[in-house]
Amino acid sequence: MLFLLFYLLRDGHRLLARCWRLLPIAKQRRQVLVKLIGDTTRAVVYGKC
């Protein structure tokens, strides 16, 4: 787990950019999806709705 965490922290932005390029979704919808995932993740971590 620490091994994975190291690489996610080090190369996370490049990995995320590569994943988004592979998705066949329009840019505008992709941005909405990123915001939704970010909001959901923060809500789970911080316990807010």
Give me the pLDDT at residue 36, please: 94
Is 39 among the domain residues?
Answer: yes
Is 43 among the domain residues?
Answer: yes
Which residue segment(s) compose the domain that 31 sits in? 24-49
Give me the pLDDT at residue 35, please: 92
Say if CB 15 and CB 8 are below 8 A apart.
Answer: yes
Say if CB 30 and CB 23 are below 8 A apart.
Answer: yes
- Sequential pLDDT tens for the chain (49 residues): 898 889 888 998 898 888 888 888 888 998 898 899 889 988 998 886 5
- Total count of domains within the chain: 1
Give me the pLDDT at residue 21, please: 85
